[in-house]
A and B are shown apart, each in its own frame.
Chain A
Amino acid sequence: MAELSLKHIDKIYDNNVQAVFDFNLDVKDGELIVLVGPSGCGKSTTLRMVAGLEDISKGTLTLDGRDITQTPAKDRDMAMVFQNYALYGHMTIYENMAFSLTLRKEDPNVIHKKVLAAAEILDLTTQLNKKPSQLSGGQRQRVAMGRSIVRSPKVFLFDEPLSNLDAKLRSATRREIILLHKRLNATMLYVTHDQTEALTLADRIVCMSMGHVQQIGTPLELYLHPDNIFVASFIGLPPMNIFDVAVKDGALVGKGFTVQLTPEQKATLAPYNNKEISLGVRPEDISEGGDMVMDVTTNENLGMNTLVHGHLASNRITAKLKGWTDYRDGDQVRISFGRMHFFDKQTTQAIRKDGKAK
């Protein structure tokens, strides 16, 4: 049982720079929360505050109802996995994994059982007598995870653990983390700037920008119903296309294109009639055939899909078309939009069905 609660957390450094603003989050027992955002958005700072490596300037942090805001890191019963593994090069894998328990002067037999159990989970049994330098990056990261597992902490904290791995290894290790989470059913907080990791790993995602929480929700919620233009652009690859359009007589009129609205969309946008809004369309929601003409500049074949980059009148646009296409610079493609997202141009917040910006 490990429920973590962050209430009105602020981080203000000594030079008065504020890194985190009013962070609120309730993490349920066994939940995997991913903090995602660009560099400098405050996600690692938040994680370090939870770990006790940074002081919390304002707010309260509770673990299972116990206030641990001022509790030293060593007494928080949390284990952290770092991006750079932080393994001791002169120790074997076994010694690295046993180290924290040895420091606590636990019974060597108990330590042995825990290390072997963790090694079994992480498929490291045959590597225990090796030194970290003899292992691959993925294996080293597994050792770092194993070192956390042996402590049986209440909360696991991951600070961009896959950033040092190549793409193939990252994908494999990501799957291992998913399996590990299922197996341990532990509460985990995971920081990454990679939205693919966030979407694939998370039970819930916390999307951050400039120290502020932009949206908290399941991966699907963030993908289908982004609260604002930042989340819409950050979640999804390639990012969502954003166009400036005006709402006029049941249609969206952009520079060089017009999109007819459905009755439901008209109702949603009724308060914005004759006003400008931002229209968001994901590349995968654009399909071939339709009234709009896209001027192609580049064509990237991905196998099952093709990314076609170009212009819709003067707007830059990227479409993810099904199948293998072979468009060349200067070609014209007729396209249509599927699912559309509407955002208030002033506040950048999503316009919901009631016609109000969120």
Chain B
Amino acid sequence: MDDQNIKVDRMRYSKNTQSSRLALLAIVLDVLFFVSIYKYVCKDTTRSDEFYYTALMGASILYNLVFMLAAFLSSEGVKNYKTNFSYVMFVLAAIQIARIFIYPVKAHSQPGLMSDFQFIRLIVYLVASALCLVAGALINLGKSRALAAHTASLEAGKA
């Protein structure tokens, strides 16, 4: 067995921690995002255009919960080289990018509600979170396909 084959063979007994950790990092970045946005949006509760008490905010909180759960399950899935979870991670990444245009852009467009620095920080969190998900998904796709091919060749060898 050459070094490349050994590297693939090792995957039979080791977890895909790289993809898994990237998914967990995506969760951390998302937490940073939503903790930050609530902080910045809720500065003045007396304002008539306050974001805090809207249905959108409720939906945002719910989505954060769903995101964390889905990303965590994906992290566990890709740890075991499950291909399907890569696609879940792609979808989550796409939604993270879409979220930029919901709260951050809306809040930033209202005068005095969110500074440029705060706006950029939120975008960085969401983009970084999406990038982590995409990277984790791509790594998992590559590894799981290589492992599947290797396992198939081993099975063929046995037969």
Q: Which residues of A contact B (CB under 8 A)?
A: 92, 94-95, 108-109, 112-113, 115, 128-129
Report the bound CA distance from A107 to B15 in whole Å.
17
Task: Give chain B's interface secondary structure class.
Answer: helix
Task: Indicate which residue in B3, B6, B13 contacts A128 across the interface (CB closer than 8 Å).
Answer: B13
Q: Provide 20 A-B residue pairs closer than 8 Å at the C-beta atoms, listed in order of the A residue.
A: A92-B13, A94-B13, A94-B14, A95-B13, A95-B14, A108-B10, A109-B3, A109-B6, A109-B7, A109-B10, A112-B6, A112-B9, A112-B10, A112-B13, A113-B6, A115-B13, A128-B12, A128-B13, A129-B12, A129-B13
Cβ–Cβ < 8 Å partners of B6 in chain A: 109, 112-113
Cβ–Cβ < 8 Å partners of B12 in chain A: 128-129
Report the bound CA distance from A22 to B7 in whole Å.
52
The listed residue with most A CB atoms (<10 A of its CB), out of B7, B9, B12, B13, is: B13
Cβ–Cβ < 8 Å partners of B9 in chain A: 112
List B residues 1-47 near A (Cβ within 8 Å): 3, 6-7, 9-10, 12-14
CB distance from B38 to the nearest CB of A (A): 36
Known: A94-B14, A95-B13. 11 other contacts (CB 8 A): A95-B14, A109-B6, A109-B10, A112-B6, A112-B9, A112-B10, A112-B13, A113-B6, A128-B13, A129-B12, A129-B13
B51-83: CB near A (< 8 Å → 1, else 0) gives 000000000000000000000000000000000
Report the bound CA distance from A95 to B14 in whole Å.
8
Question: Which residue on A lies nearest to B7, using beta carbons?
Answer: A109
Question: Which residue on B lies nearest to A113, using beta carbons?
Answer: B6
Q: Which residues of B contact A (CB under 8 A)?
A: 3, 6-7, 9-10, 12-14
Report, nearest first, the 5 A-B pairs whose CB atoms are least far apart.
A94-B13, A109-B6, A112-B10, A128-B13, A112-B6
Report the bound CA distance from A140 to B10 in whole Å.
22
Question: Which residue on A lies nearest to B10, using beta carbons?
Answer: A112
Report the bound CA distance from A115 to B6 in whole Å.
12
Question: Which residue on A lies nearest to B4, using beta carbons?
Answer: A109
Cβ–Cβ < 8 Å partners of A129 in chain B: 12-13
Cβ–Cβ < 8 Å partners of A95 in chain B: 13-14
CB distance from B154 to the nearest CB of A (A): 12
Report the bound CA distance from A113 to B9 in whole Å.
10
CB distance from B53 to the nearest CB of A (A): 46
Cβ–Cβ < 8 Å partners of A92 in chain B: 13
Question: Which residue on A lies nearest to B2, using beta carbons?
Answer: A109
CB distance from B17 to the nearest CB of A (A): 12
Question: Which residue on A lies nearest to B9, using beta carbons?
Answer: A112
Report the bound CA distance from A112 to B14 in whole Å.
10
Report the bound CA distance from A154 to B9 in whole Å.
29
Cβ–Cβ < 8 Å partners of A113 in chain B: 6
Report the bound CA distance from A94 to B15 in whole Å.
11
Cβ–Cβ < 8 Å partners of A128 in chain B: 12-13
CB distance from B49 to the nearest CB of A (A): 52
Question: Which residue on B lies nearest to A93, using beta carbons?
Answer: B13
Report the bound CA distance from A129 to B102 in whole Å.
45
CB distance from B157 to the nearest CB of A (A): 14
Report the bound CA distance from A174 to B42 in whole Å.
71
Question: Which residue on B lies nearest to A129, using beta carbons?
Answer: B13
Report the bound CA distance from A112 to B12 in whole Å.
11
Cβ–Cβ < 8 Å partners of B7 in chain A: 109
Report the bound CA distance from A109 to B4 in whole Å.
9
Question: Which residue on B lies nearest to A94, using beta carbons?
Answer: B13
Report the bound CA distance from A129 to B14 in whole Å.
8
CB distance from A102 to the nearest CB of B (A): 11
CB distance from A117 to the nearest CB of B (A): 12
CB distance from A120 to the nearest CB of B (A): 13
Report the bound CA distance from A233 to B1 in whole Å.
55
Question: Which residue on B lies nearest to A119, using beta carbons?
Answer: B13
Report the bound CA distance from A128 to B11 in whole Å.
12
CB distance from A94 to the nearest CB of B (A): 4
